[in-house]
Amino acid sequence: MVAEGLWQDADDFRLLIALYNLDASCVEDVDWDNLLDLRSGDVCRKRWDQMVSHIGKHGCNSFAEQVEVLSKRYCPELLELREAYDSKPVTP
């Protein structure tokens, strides 16, 4: 999704912050279309599914537990650093 320009690395942090703050008990409780300002609901949901597929045994946990596991991996404190890194000019 990143290579296609549909998603930026910093969006992972934004997605998890939004889901954590939402405090939804299941994936069906999430209004994916209104979760992130600059990303469609379909793209947010697709990225969420990709993230969950990479958390190993925790992929079988409840939605709230998955959000917790991924939130620890993508700490909100790292968002500013990730944004700064993403905005650096690419040097050939």
What's the total number of domains in the chain?
A: 1
The more confident residue out of 23 and 92 is 23
Residue 32 lies in a domain: yes
- pLDDT, greater one: 7 or 80: 7
- Is 25 within the bounds of a domain? yes
Angle between helices 63-73 and 9-22 (to 10 degrees): 140
In a domain, 43, yes or no: yes
pLDDT of residue 92: 62
In a domain, 1, yes or no: no
**Domain that residue 50 falls in:** 9-86
Would 92 be classed as within a structural domain?
no
* Residue 9, pLDDT score: 82
**What pTM was estimated for this model as a whole?**
0.76
Longest dimension (CA), the chain: 45
- 14 is a domain residue: yes
pLDDT for residue 83 = 66
Q: What is the pLDDT of residues 34-84, one digit of tens each?
A: 999 989 999 999 999 999 988 877 677 899 889 888 888 777 666 566 666
Per-residue confidence at 13, pLDDT binned at 50, 70, 90? confident
SS3 87: coil
Would residue 91 count as lying in a domain?
A: no
Residue 2 covered by a domain: no
